[in-house]
Structure formats: C-alpha cells, structure tokens
Chains A and B, each alone.
Chain A
Amino acid sequence: MSDTEFLDRVDFAARTGNDPHRVKAAETFRAHGWPTRADEAWHYTDLKASLRSFDLTLPGQGAPDVGGMIPRTAMPKVIFVNGRFDESLSDSSRFVRRFDDHASARADGTRPLVSLNTAVANDGIRIDVPGGTDGGTLFLVSVTDTPCQDMLAPFHRIAVGAAGSLTVIEVVRGAGRYMHNVVTEIALAEGAVLRHYRLQDESIDAVNVTTALVDLREDARYEAFTLNYGAKLSRYEAHVTLSGPNAAVHLNAAQLLAGTQHGDITTVVAHRAPHCASRQTVKSVLAGSARGVFQGRIEVAQWAQKTDGYQMNQALLLSPDAEIDSKPELEIFADDVKCSHGATIGAIDPEQMFYLRSRGIPEAEARAMLIRAFLDEALEPVTDDEARSIFEAAIDVWWQKGVL
C-alpha cells in the first residue's frame, strides 16, 4: 500500500466539505507519509511495515453485534461502534455532545498520525465540564467488529473548567482487522482535575495508535493510567504540557504483551511553567516474542524553575524471545530543578520465586503473584474502584490465558 494511494480514495468533498484546514492536514501527511524507523520518534516501532498487509479503507455503514464487548456499569456511557458514535447505545449526559468540528489545530508535520486524523476524522465527542462542577464518572467505550480493514479515526476533546473535576474511563475493545487512529485533546483549566484511565484491548489483528494532547493550567492535575493489552501493534503517545505554575501530572502506563504483539508507550512531559511536578511509572511485562517499547522525554523550559520531574520504567522479560527497547530522555534548560529517571530490565527474581515456592505456592501462581506486584506501582493513580476492577480483571485473565 503506498502512502498516498489510501488518501487518493478519500472523498474529501463528501467527508469534510473541503475544509481547507483538513485538506492541508492531508497534504502534510501526504508529504511525510507513514512514519518509518528513520523518524527518531518512531525509532523502535515500524508502523509502516505492520500496515503493509493492510488494504485500508474508510468505514462504511453497518451494525455489528458488539453488545458483549460493552462493559457493564451503572455509570453513564458514551459508545462508539466501528468508530462512529452510537446514540442508541449511549447514555445521555449534559456534559457530552457529538463533536462535529474536527479541525484540530495540532496537525503539524512532526506528528503524521495526528495530521492524518485531522484529515479524515469524521466523528468524536466533546466533553465539557464547566468550572466548579464535578462531572462524575463517564465511560468512553469504543467497540469495533469489522473484517474490512477500516481505518477508524475518531477525534475527541475533553475540557474541564476551573476547579472542575471529572473521571473518564476509556475501554477500547474489538474483533477483526482494522486500524484505529485516535486523537484526544484535553484542556484542564486552573485547578481542574481529570482522572483518565484507559484499557486498550483491541483485536489481536488490529493496529491502534492513540495520541493524547494534554494541556494543564495553573494548579490543574492530570491523573492517568493506560494499559496496552490487545492489538497486534499499539502505540500510546501522550504529550502533556504543564503550562501553568503548580500543575501536576501523574502519567502512568503498563503493557502486558504476548505472542508477537508490539506495544509502544511514548510520552513527552513538557514543563513550561515553574513549580510543576510530574510523576511517571511505566511497566512492561513481555511474554512470547512480544516486543515492548518505552520512550519518555521530560522537557524543562528555561523559565520552568523548581520543576520536580521523576520517571521510572521497568520491564520484566518472561521468555527468551521477548524484547524491550527503552529510551528515557531528559532535556533540561533550567538550573533549579530536580529531575531524574530510572530504568531496569530483567527477569523475575529467582530469589523471590524461591521464597514463594518454598511456601508451597505453585509455580504459575507464584509467577502471577510476582507480576501483579510488579504492576502494582503503575496502578497507583487508579483511585476509582470501578476502573481498578476493570484493570485487575484484565491482568488476572492475562495469565489465565496461558501466556505464561
């Protein structure tokens, strides 16, 4: 599949009314093409190669039976089916409306997938929590069942007003063969708090690339955890900008990968104001011949004095063929800062294993226990019980699937 061939089939007039911004985004993508390993930001993830066998199309209409994939919860749900908002399955919420202005201002040459999303996005939601309001908990569910090699490109925007708060639990599930290219823009006003939890459990034949663009004003707080669990190839890319003083971000992630899965967690935390704090714990557990990637950059601008930045990434390799590639980066232009990162890679500690085995715990169970413990620190920001139980269920099922 050539890069441009796919776009040539897009009927821009029908899709976008020839919105110049989107046409320009398409041109930007066309000029760059799919990212390759020659792009430093994609050094370890060869998206182009994994899409080679795809013959991407844009989704048509259809109503697959996806009921089984929707999590059961009493909380209000917003549901996307095959990349389109499904009003009949969704609950109404006064904070949510369908999003029709897809012109993201972010389409620049450095993030080709965002440009592509801007060019072709045709659905999404807008969540607006007004200042001083608690928006409660909202499920954002995306279920996909299509053999059509569709490219689904939703674009979401979440805004929490001054001193407002919200919890978003994202569950992304699917069956079949498709590519999901999601962009979510998040704006947190002064003192706003957003807890954002995400389970990516796509079809094992799918490709998922999700980009979160997050901006925090003074005193705002972003508490996030994402779990890469499904998909043949997945990339979670978060760009968090701390643009007001005393803002704080807790950006944790984990990936559980087996078989020939490829999971990529890429984060850029940009400190652009003084007295901000960032905390990151990223864990990878890799079985089979899975390959995990972590790239995490902390940037500190010259005026972002008193920055406190910390990042830890750890990987457990469970099998001889698993691979981890890790690139933690510090880019610092202010002198009065405390920034550090750490990385460790290894197997399960045989001493810990021996300890559990000597107490009569069977090997598989002991291993599961140690992996749970290994992941625990990453789950720390997940304070919402319902979200936590979703992640724990996924983790429990993972080793029951026989990946160990």
Chain B
Amino acid sequence: MPAVTETIEAIDRLTDGGYKYGFETNIEMEFAPKGLSEDIVRLISAKKGEPDWLLEWRLKSYRAWLTMEEPNWARVRHPRIDYQDLYYYAAPKREAPKSLADVDPELISMYDKLGIPLNERAALAGVAVDAVFDSVSVATTFRDSLAKVGVIFGSISEAVREHPELVRKYLGSVVPPGDNYFTALNSAVFSDGSFVYIPRGVRCPMELSTYFRINARNTGQFERTLIIAEEGASVSYLEGCTAPMRDENQLHAAVVELVALDEASIKYSTVQNWYPGDAQGRGGIYNFVTKRGACRGRKSKISWTQVETGSAITWKYPSCILQGEGSSGEFYSVALTNNYQQADTGTKMIHLAPNTTSTIISKGISAGHSNNTYRGLVRIMPKAHGARNFTQCDSLLIGDQCGAHTVPYIESRNRSAKVEHEATTSKIADDQLFYCRSRGLSEEDAVGLLVNGFCRDVLKELPMEFAVEAQKLLAVSLEGSVG
C-alpha cells in the first residue's frame, strides 16, 4: 500500500470517534502513523500541549513547505526522499539492547579508541539501563547553579510552557520558517531541542552542553535550538558528542537560531559524528541542517566551530548576520569525509552594518570515495563601511578516488570593505610523511598526526576536552583510508 494512502487511512481510523484533536487522551501509542499532513502537525502540537499560536505557526510552516521544492544545488547525490514514508512523531524504537554485550562490537571498539568511560558507553549505545552514571544528579546540581545567575537552560518544549513570551519573540526570527525547504519542514514538525537564555550582563558560569541534559538524549530528527544572549551576556554551548550515536533515524533536519544583543557573545561548538554509513556507502544519516546566528547588537559576536566527521550526507551552512555595528562572526570548520560520505558545508557571512568583521577558516579532508565541498558566501552590503573579511579554505586529499571542492561566493558593494579569500588543495606532503615514518610512526599514525596538524587552527577553537576527543575522532574516522 502506498505510504500516502496508508497515512490517510490511519488518520481516518484515528479520527473515527469524531474526537478530532484529542489524540493524546484516546490513543495509547508510541508513534503517529507514517507520513506528514496537517493532522500530524496538529497531533505533534497537541501531544506537547502547545498554545494555539505555536500550532498556527507550525501549520503555516507546513503549508509553506507544501509549496516548496527540495533544494538541489548542493553537491550531494542521494535517492529521492519520500517524505510520506517517514515518521514525524516519536519514531518507533527498535528494541533497545539489554546490555553492552548485545551492542555492535564495532561500536564498542570505537568507544575504546576514543577513550569513552565505560559507564557512558551504555548511554551512548542506547542500552536500556535505569540510571546512567548518575546523570540525574549531574543535571540537577547543574541546573541549580545556572538558576542562581538567572540562566534558563532546558528543552524548547519546556520553554514554550514556562517562557512563552521569550519563545514567541525569538522563534523563527533568525531562520524564518519559509527560509528553505528543510526549515519549513522543521518548523512544522520540530520535536524538541534546547533553549538557552542568558540574562543581561551574565557570563554563563559553565559550558552548556546537550550531553548533560538528559532529555536531549533522544532529540530526534527535527531538533530545534534557540539561544538568546542579552546585552553583555556570554555563553559557550557544546552540541553533539564525539562518540557515534546509535540512531535509527535516516533524515535529520535541525534548525538552530542564535541571537546576540549588544556586546553579547555566543560560542557554538559542534562535534557531529552521526552514523556515516558502512564502507560500501550503505545506510547513514542525511544531515540537512540550518544554523544561523544574528548579531543584532553593537559589538556582539557569534562564533561557530564545527568538526564534522559523521553522516552519510551533510548539508549545513552555519551563518552569521552581522546587523550590529562592530559585530563579528567567526566560522571554524573541519569536515572529514571517508568511504562514500558526502559533505557540502560552509558558511554565510552577511555584513550589514559598519565595521563588522568576519573570519572563516575551513579545513576539508577527503578520503576513500567521498566528496567534500566547501560552499560559502561573504556578502558586504552598501552600508557596511569598513567591513572586513578573511577567508581561508584548505582541502586535503587522501587517495585518488575522492573529491575536494571549493565554491565560495564573494560579493562586495562597499568600497571601504576589505575582503580576502584564499583556498588551497593538496595532498599530505611526502616529505612530512617520510619524516614521521623515519621516526618510527606507523603510516596510519603519521597520517593522523599530519591531519591533526592540518586542522590545528580549528581544533584550538574547541573547548579543551572536546578538542582532545576530536583529535582522536579524526584519526578513527580515517581508518582504512591509508595504505
């Protein structure tokens, strides 16, 4: 039976009782039927007990999505996605493994290499254990100290209930629902994600991480994150995890919005290591993400750092809109692809105000049969007097079956702005490799070392503990590509 018919019939069955929006009381089910329709959007909203304005917002996004076309300009190839063949609410879980012994041994050996503590491994592998390394207490102490300084940190669903005025004011203000195909989809069906609010003048006392937030463990495919830094506030936010996540979802379409007001600063670090598919390119996550920050205030600052090693397909362009005078945006990226992975990633720096500055450092590494593309835009608008951009994109090729591509768009409409861009593509230098080998390093270790050196400018931007794991991750991700 075609997925669409199935959906319609399933919805019909559900609505038989004439109780149109009361899914949550009538139905004892883990998941909504496959497919996407207005009813599914209503179901999601109702399940979460959302206010009317948010339901309307979702429906509007859904209707916009219906009129849109999936973008095809990125250098990625994949079979057509049947959006009616997906679950949009609480995807059914395969039976969780009972203990680590049931977990894929390849996953376990990777945890070994990354040095993930034993008790965390179970959580990452999705083992159904009750208390995972005391995360409840970690989360509680953590929340207390944040509450003391007035920082709000929780799930976006909580925030909708507890701080509706903030969510309503900022949700969709940086990434409007109709921005692109995937943002419209996300806005219609987003499941959950983080909400961070840093009040005026507060420097967040610790690095915030989804890793510590228990309810973030199954954020699902349509994650939505909103971070607001008020005047003079600052925060560093870490997303993701260096260990591969067990995840059945095929399509991820997340939206992240950052808002920095006067003199505020937001640092957003990501280590993305979703399942990349196997060595033959079967399976793996499609990661279609829209991340954008608005530097609304004077001298505000947004910095994106990303290490992308996972996903079968990455489609991601963390961007900065530099609206405040003297504001600055940064983008530091390492994207590594191996086997049959495809990454099309980069950034957009839109300079609207005078004396805005932006820095882009991108390091792409391609190995195996993969394709790795940097795609970026630097746009200087007429009012951005004295704006400044520096971009450096370096690509490294390992093996002759892969591709490395650089597609920068540079647009300047202000003569007082200075824009500089440079890009290089090369392989690992033979003399460097020889030097390492002659000192007894195995070829694989030598390549790992040199790749880490190649990425140093980006890795040094990561918070310390992340940087250490990211380095190991690069080496692990390259396995099998050398020799």
Contacts and interface: CB of A to CB of B under 8 A. Distances in A.
User: Are A and B a genuine interacting pair, yes or no?
Assistant: yes
Interface of A: 40, 43, 302, 305, 315, 317-347
A379 B228 CA distance: 52
Interface stretch (B108-116, B120-128, B398-406, B465-473): B398-406
Nearest to A334: B400
A342 B401 CA distance: 26
Secondary structure class of chain B's binding surface, majority of residues: strand
B240 interface: no
Contacts of B154: none
A344 B382 CA distance: 17
A340 B410 contact: no
Interface of B: 73, 380, 382, 395, 397-427
A341 B423 contact: yes
The 7 closest A-B pairs by CB, nearest first: A317-B415, A335-B397, A343-B421, A345-B419, A330-B406, A340-B424, A326-B410
B398 A335 contact: yes
B392 to A, nearest CB: 10
11 contacts: A322-B415, A329-B406, A330-B405, A332-B425, A335-B400, A338-B424, A338-B425, A341-B406, A341-B422, A344-B420, A346-B417
B450 to A, nearest CB: 14
Contacts of B421: 326, 328, 341-344
A338 B416 CA distance: 33
Contacts of B397: 332, 334-335, 337
A315 B421 CA distance: 12
A336 B422 contact: no
B403 A331 contact: yes
A268 to B, nearest CB: 13
A345 B416 CA distance: 9
Interface of A, secondary structure class, is strand
A344 B415 contact: no
A182 B400 CA distance: 38
B73 A40 contact: yes
B400 A340 contact: no
Contacts of B427: 335-337
Contacts of B425: 330, 332, 337-340
B405 A346 contact: no
A322 B399 CA distance: 44
A318 B411 CA distance: 15
Contacts of B426: 337-339
A345 B423 contact: no
A164 B401 CA distance: 37
Contacts of B407: 327, 329
A285 B320 CA distance: 29
A339 B412 contact: no
Contacts of B419: 343-346
Nearest to B422: A342
Given A325-B411, A328-B410, A329-B406, 5 more contacts: A323-B411, A332-B405, A337-B397, A337-B425, A344-B418
B417 A332 contact: no
Nearest to B375: A329
Contacts of B400: 302, 305, 333-336
Contacts of A335: 397-400, 402, 427
Contacts of B404: 330, 332
A327 B409 contact: yes
A340 B411 contact: no
A323 B416 contact: no
A302 B403 CA distance: 8
A324 B412 contact: yes
Nearest to A287: B415
A324 B416 contact: no
Contact of B424 (A329, A339, A343): A339
Contacts of A327: 407-410
Nearest to A318: B415
Contacts of A341: 406, 421-423
Contacts of A329: 405-408
B425 to A, nearest CB: 4
Interface centre among A43, A302, A345 (most CB of B within 10 A): A345
Contacts of A342: 420-423
B398 A324 contact: no
B378 to A, nearest CB: 9
